[in-house]
Amino acid sequence: MDSPLAVFSSAGAGALLVAGTLYCLFAFLLGPVEKNSNPAVNLSGGSIAAGNVRDKYEFRRPKETVRVTDKVPDFVDTFYNLVTDIYEWGWGQSFHFSPPVPGKSDGEASKLHELMIVDLIGARPGDRILDVGCGIGGPMRTIAAHSGANVVGITINDYQVNRARTHNKKAGLDKQCDVVQGNFLAMPFPSNSFDGAYSIEATCHAPKLEEVYAEIFRVLKPGALYTSYDWITTEKYRPEEDAEIIQGIERGNALPGLRSYSDITAAAREVGFEVVRVRDLAREPTTARWLEVGRMTYWRNHVPWWSRLKFGRIAYWRNHIVVSVLAAVGVAPKGTVDVHEMLCKTAEYLTKGGEKGIFSPMHMILCRKPAEK
Ligand SMILES: C=C(CC[C@@H](C)[C@H]1CC[C@H]2C3=CC[C@H]4[C@H](C)[C@@H](O)CC[C@]4(C)[C@H]3CC[C@]12C)C(C)C
Ligand SMILES: C[S@@+](CC[C@H](N)C(=O)[O-])C[C@H]1O[C@@H](n2cnc3c(N)ncnc32)[C@H](O)[C@@H]1O
């Protein structure tokens, strides 16, 4: 017969195994994609009280995209209250796409995409750089840490300001990174006060691109550079055939209307910028090759940006179950399931837009504010 000690230790080992398995399953189901980010149990409605999330979601479900210009910033603010926690949990601290890089994880590829900005605008230690539409500050932290520059971010959404500040502090970058709540169409900064600026997948929220570009132009010092990665329709877009996909992208991402690639250069020139370089970073090269930008060399290959969305199908199901359970037991606000479902559809439209080659989320433009004579 087994000694009581042996029975106890084998029962203990069994219990430990079950507890360990449950813990791993729990961490797998609820944990964020990025270390030190937001677990599923923290899903909230941003600055919207939990009881009002469903009403707010109903409000943001118009058939047509919002096009009433002066209502756009409020609408976008509500949108980010609803999606910020889900984005952070399911995607990470950087709310943008990036070209996959062989041998690198999604997170590393995303950082490389952000680091290219340091080279493009020539950010140096001590510079004051503006991040237009900074989200919760993933790119800002990468850029500040790598360049030694001080980065000031602006976002319309108060909840994102708090998340960004929390992460800046955790990363020990709160001295270098500052975040303010405000509208990028009327920024609370003096003219000629920044050494450089960038925006990543943010200016597509502006009802008129000229308005946000004019503000960026105003706050930059003469001679300073600005680069933007923006969402656009490509030359392959045919409204008669592709309108449903493009409207699906607009609806699911709170966009007042996607612009064509040619509108970007025109808007930059209209406000007075010199256009230095334009390139669609989503373009699928036929062969793998190196892309030279400034001092650094970046590897590009033919895996497209939307592959990260496509490979996520199983993850969406897992996330859908997690969100449904958390909403049912009252941990996540009611309405979170609708928001998550909307994001699943958005992912499909984005993938279709990418596959058809009619849409790009990374049209890059590099501009200079002319130096004073
Ligand atoms: C620039 C913008 C946002 C771009 C992306 C960061 C987000 C666009 C679509 C989002 C997602 C779609 C599917 C979600 C999934 C169903 C969920 O389980 C986990 C999060 C998603 C993957 C989510 C993550 C962020 C996006 C990829 C716009 C708004 C201008
Ligand atoms: C898709 S997120 C990108 C965030 C960040 N650039 C990143 O890559 O992680 C778009 C950002 O633009 C901001 N934004 C949209 N419209 C804005 C406005 N009118 N004023 C200020 N910020 C705005 C949103 O609040 C959000 O932070």
Distance CA 199, CA 354 (A): 21
Using CB atoms within 10 Å of the CB of residue 168, give its burial: 0 to 12 exposed, 13 to 18 middle, 19+ buried: buried
Residue 88's contacts (CB-CB under 8 Å, 6 or more residues apart) are: 32, 34, 37, 38, 136, 163
**Nearest alpha-carbon partner for 371 in 220, 231, 251:** 220
ipTM: 0.99
Tell me the CA–centroid distance for residue 293 and ligand 2, in Å: 25
**Nearest alpha-carbon partner for 93 in 121, 130, 128, 134:** 134
Query: Of ligand 1's atoms, which has the minimum distance to the CA of residue 320?
Result: 18
CB of 258 sitting under 6 A from ligand 1: no
Tell me the CA–centroid distance for residue 269 and ligand 1, in Å: 31
Predicted confidence (pLDDT) per residue in 298-332, tens digit: 655 568 899 999 866 788 889 999 999 999 999 99
Nearest CA, atom 22, ligand 2: 155
Tell me the sheet residues that pair with 52: none
Nearest CA, atom 4, ligand 2: 135
Write down the pTM of the prediction: 0.90
pLDDT at 102: 78
Which residues contact ligand 2 via a Cβ below 6 A?
73, 76, 80, 94-96, 133-135, 138-139, 154-157, 160, 183-185, 200-202, 205
Predicted confidence (pLDDT) per residue in 133-189, tens digit: 999 999 999 999 999 999 999 999 999 999 999 999 999 999 999 999 999 999 999
Q: How confident is the model at residue 19 (pLDDT cuts 50, 70, 90)?
A: low
CB of 95 sitting under 6 A from ligand 1: yes
